[in-house]
Amino acid sequence: MMLNGFLVVGALLFALGATGVLIRRNAIVMLMCIELMLQGANVTLAAFSRYLDDQAGFVLVVFSLTVAAAEVAIGLAILVALSRVNPVVNVDQLDSLSG
C-alpha cells in the first residue's frame, strides 16, 4: 500500500533528525536536525491527510511550516547574538551555567 511507504519515509526523516539533535554538538547542525524532524512530521501528516481524503491534515502542514519558519528565525537570531559574545558554536562549550 502506498500509505506505508510515505509513513516509513516520514519516520526515517524524524528518526534521523532526532538522532542528529541528540548526538551532534554543532548548534547550527542541531537546528537543521530539528527542521528534519518537523519535515518528517509534515510528510506523515500529508500522507495521512491524502489517505483519509480529509483536508484538515494539509491545513495542519501549512501551520506546522509556519511554526518551523518562526522557530528558525528566532533560533538563528539567538545564534547570531551568541556568536558575538562567544564565537564558537559548539554546544559543549556552553558551560557558563552550572551548579
Partner 1 sequence: MIEPSDIGYVLPEITVLGTALALLLWAAITRGDQRWTSVSLALTGNGLAALFMFMRAPADDAAVQVFAGQLVVDGYSTFFRTLFLILASLAIVFGAQRFSTAPLTDFAALLQFSLLGMMLLVGAADWATALIAIETMAIPVYVLVGLTRFRRESLEAAMKYFALGAFASAILVYGIAWTYGLTGTTSLAETAAGITAHGETPWTLFALGLILVAMGFKVAAVPFHAWTPDAYQGAPTPAAAFISVGPKVAAMALLARVVTLAFEPLAANIAIALAVIAAATMILGNLAAIAQNDVKRLLGYSSIAHTGYMLVGLAAVSQTEETATFIGIPSVLFYGFVYAFMTFGAFAVAYVVETQTGSNDISAFRGLAQRAPLPAVAMAVFMLSLTGVPPLSGFLGKLYILQSAVDAEFGWLAVVLVVTSVVSAFYYLRVVVMMFMQDADEDVPADAGTVPASAIVADTHSAVIAAAAGATVAFGIVGGGLLTWAQSAVNNGLL
DSSP state for residue 53 in the 8-state scheme:
T
Single residue of 16, 26, 32, 64 touching partner 1 by CB under 8 A? 64
Single residue of 78, 87, 88, 92 touching partner 1 by CB under 8 A? 78
DSSP state for residue 90 in the 8-state scheme:
B
Q: Is 28 in the site for partner 1 (CB under 8 A)?
A: no
Single residue of 27, 28, 29, 88 touching partner 1 by CB under 8 A? 27
Q: CB of residue 5 vs partner 1: minimum separation in angstroms? A: 14
B/e letters for 66-84, b = 16+ CB within 10 Å, e = fewer, are: eebeeeeeebeeeeeeeee
Residue numbers 2-21 binding partner 1 by CB under 8 A: 7, 10, 14, 17-18, 21
Q: Is 71 in the site for partner 1 (CB under 8 A)?
A: yes
**What whole-number distance in Å separates Cα of residue 99 and Cα of residue 27?**
23
For residue 75, give Cα distances in angstroms to 34, 70, 83: 11, 9, 12
Nearer to partner 1, 5 or 7 (CB): 7
